[in-house]
Amino acid sequence: MNSFPGKIGRTVAESEPWWPQQDKDANLRPNVVTILFDDTGWSDFGCFGSEISTPAIDTVAEQGLRFTNFHVTPMCSPTRASLLTGRNHHSVGMRCLSDSDTGFPNGRGAIRADIPTLADMLRGHGFATYMVGKWHLAPSAECTPAGPYDNWPLSRGFDRFYGFLGGCTDQYAPELIQDNQTIDPPLREGYHLSEDLCDRAIGYLRDHAAFRAKDPFFLNFCFGATHAPIQVARDYVDPYVSVFDKGWDQTRIDRLERQKSLGLMPKDTDLVPRNPDVSAWDDLDADHRALFTRQQSAYAGFLQHADEQIGRLVAELQRLGLYENTIILIMSDNGASPEGRQNGAVDINTNYSGTPEPVSEMIKRIDDIGGPNGPAHYPLGWAMAGNTPFRRYKQFVDLGGMRSPLVFSWPMGMVASGGIRDQFLHAVDIAPTIMDLVGDRRAAQFDGDSFRPMLASDSAPAPRSLQYWEMFGRRAIYAEGWKAISEHEKGDDYASDTWRLHDTRNDASECHDLANSHPEKLQELKDLWWLEAEANDVFPLDDRTLVDIIRFRSPHGLAAQSEVTFYGNQSHLGTLSMICGTDRSFEMKGHFTAALGTAEGVIASMGNELGGYTLFIKEGRLVFEHGFVGRRHRFEGTISGTSRSAGLQLKHGKGTAAQITLLADDQRIGGGLLPETASHLSFWGLDIGRDAALPVSQSYAAPFAFPLPLLDKVTLNFLEPVNEETLAEMLEVTE
């Protein structure tokens, strides 16, 4: 009370009220909208040379700028951490993915608590802060309905959050979080996550315009697109079949020519040779070409559909009178992804479970691609084309992994529009630039710097001339136009790594290796890399796979427990828990508070109509149904009305098969052999006492809830420890 500037007497008549002065500059500060795509290649936007229709992005670019020399990290969580902090990802604790904790300070799977995020900084200047879409900055062990919430969006500076916590989710039935609460997906006809995220973003903007019009806002909009599962309506897919039946080799040639004609790449830029793990398109047979063309067409439609949502968002900004003073940045978190492997997938759950299907099987279901039964992915060749004209993909420190398209617009603050900037930039430069534009250049300690002068002049210098990279022991460094890149695989002697050297000022695609002709320059850059690594907490250098990391440090969270108890009507448990597959032997049992009588309903369900399992009682029968890639197996037995418990035992033998035993009051009432199990059955996790998403079984109408309080609890006992290699391979391939 001593700091109260007014006067407090015994009565109001003897007192003087006081109100804080409103920040007169608040309504002059620009609003900020960052739009982040996932796994979208440098050449995939139309305005960056693609055949894919992205008119909304292209229009923003025409009214603003395209940055052609903008870099990120080769993985999503590190890029998101750098974007939100302006710091290099090792130094804030996000060496790799948020899913894993490596046991060292640079890899805890979360942004350090003492590092402010861009949302924190802007909120400190009176901004409202909104987040929709993908987060992927909280360790998986913390992504339960009960948290802890320390690394969720609302604890890291955002006022509101609507989206998903992990790396990917189903676009038709996503695992959604609203603020700090799990919610059921809106399972309406024609639902799609990209549209839902846009609807929610528009809702936030309308509320803001109505109730906080004098305050600026920050909206961080992070699509699930274009990460797998690739899902979009058939109407978006079919038009691209005739576009991409020319194949990836010709697509790369065509895109580079367009990039040159648009002024995005120098006229003398060479196309990097085809990646060695990609076949020549002309060497493929008809089935391979047909399947691969449809997979890429689905990807293109997925991106076009997301672009339409950007168009809706921009139109709403204009309608609300907010567009002119809003900064918009559109980018990707890393390059196009190699997760589809050689043949892509009609159902990416097969790849994510380590059981990819041959083309001869997938071609039979080609028309499912993109739909509810076809959560697809493209093969390596199309990832290569997405990264035209560069080498390799996501996860690598070559340009294919870490060159991102960047579109920037601010109508009120732009001196020039439709321009191109080719100065070197990195994700760590975004936060300091935004804070510079809102009037607080020194809001926090940044590793990046502001590129504000480049908005007005194409001849302004780059804010920095030095940047390092590291991922899985692969290393790279840029300094004064020179770039050095190491080849490294697990177990290699770092001192013996082969390095390439590129003069990026005369070799924009990093096609020509000058290591042999400029050994002194290469050594200079290698020495500089070690200095930067020391300064940014990169050590210890870590080329371990996720298998090794998990073996070194036991998994946190539910995956480390041998027994978990659930309760009726509790919140949905997401797939990030890593206990939602059937790859481990387990016993699941529903416990009743009284005799069963004629009660029926779902005891527990995991997954959806495409893949998962459900344990339910109906018409006096206990049923366990298991589905994977559309293949279904059902086991049932008669259960007495006097039963006080019901469950099953799933016990593995050889291979992926398992013996099923149905139990009532711990007595066998049915069972048989389940010929296949999987670690990743679908993108939907576990529900207790109901089937909350697209129902696993057609034997009932969801949610088919079990009566409460009759269902007391459900126990899940694992009969064997987590298979570290299987778990790690699932994490590795899905990210």
DSSP assignment string, 5-51: SSB--SSGGG-B---PPP-TTGGGSPEEEEEEESS--TT-SGGGT-S
Instruction: Answer yes or no: is 19 within a domain.
Output: no
DSSP percent split of the chain into helix, strand, coil, nearest 5: 30, 20, 50
Pair (525, 620) in one structural domain: no
Return d(Cα 67, Cα 51) in angstroms, integer.
19
Instruction: Answer yes or no: is 684 within a domain.
Output: yes
Pair (515, 448) in one structural domain: no
CATH number of the domain that 500 lies in?
3.30.1120.10
Pair (576, 440) in one structural domain: no
Neighbour count for residue 400 (Cβ, 10 Å): 29
H-run or E-run covering 524: helix 519-535
Paired sense of beta strands 474-479 and 482-487, if any: antiparallel
CATH number of the domain that 229 lies in?
3.40.720.10
CATH number of the domain that 583 lies in?
2.60.120.200
Alpha-carbon distances, residue 59 vs 65, 201, 397, 421 (angstroms): 10, 20, 31, 17
Instruction: Answer yes or no: is 715 within a domain.
Output: yes
Number of domains the chain is built from: 3
| pLDDT for res 460 | 95
End-to-end CA distance of the chain: 53
Pair (393, 524) in one structural domain: no
Pair (445, 488) in one structural domain: no
Pair (566, 606) in one structural domain: yes
Sign of CA dihedral 530, 535, 540, 546: negative
The candidate with the shortest Cα–Cα distance to 110, out of 120, 102, 121, is 102
| pLDDT for res 667 | 96
Instruction: Answer yes or no: is 595 within a domain.
Output: yes
| pLDDT for res 554 | 45
| pLDDT for res 352 | 85
| pLDDT for res 553 | 44
Paired sense of beta strands 466-471 and 326-332, if any: unpaired
Sheet with 406-409, strands from edge to edge, namely 181-183, 176-178, 160-164, 128-134, 217-222, 31-37, 326-332, 406-409, 65-67, 419-421
Instruction: Answer yes or no: is 548 within a domain.
Output: no
Pair (491, 563) in one structural domain: no
Instruction: Answer yes or no: is 248 within a domain.
Output: yes
What pTM does this model have? 0.94
Pair (105, 254) in one structural domain: yes
Return d(Cα 462, Cα 479) in angstroms, integer.
12
Return d(Cα 78, Cα 108) in angstroms, integer.
11
Question: How is residue 721 written in tokens?
Answer: 């420890």
Pair (446, 476) in one structural domain: no
Return d(Cα 100, Cα 102) in angstroms, integer.
6
H-run or E-run covering 551: helix 546-552
Rounded to the nearest 5°, which phi and psi values hold at 731?
A: -60, -40
Instruction: Answer yes or no: is 17 within a domain.
Output: no
Residue 507 is classified by DSSP as -
| pLDDT for res 723 | 57
| pLDDT for res 60 | 97
Instruction: Answer yes or no: is 4 within a domain.
Output: no
Determine the 3-state secondary structure of 177 from DSSP.
strand
Which domain-ending residue is among 485, 513, 543?
Answer: 543
Which domain-ending residue is among 479, 514, 543?
Answer: 543
**Taking the chain (735 residues) in consecutive chunks of 10 residues, what is each chunk's mean pLDDT?**
85 93 78 98 98 98 97 97 98 90 89 98 96 95 93 98 96 97 91 98 98 96 97 98 98 98 97 96 98 98 98 98 97 95 94 89 96 95 98 96 97 86 98 96 95 94 97 96 95 93 97 97 98 97 70 62 91 89 94 97 94 96 94 95 96 89 96 92 95 94 96 93 55 50
Pair (190, 51) in one structural domain: yes
* Domain of 520, in residue numbers: 466-543
H-run or E-run covering 286: helix 286-319
Pair (400, 484) in one structural domain: no
Which domain-ending residue is among 456, 480, 499?
Answer: 456
Residue 273 is classified by DSSP as P
- Residue 649 · residue 624 · CB < 8 Å: no
Pair (335, 482) in one structural domain: no
| pLDDT for res 600 | 97
Rounded to the nearest 5°, which phi and psi values hold at 240?
A: -90, -10
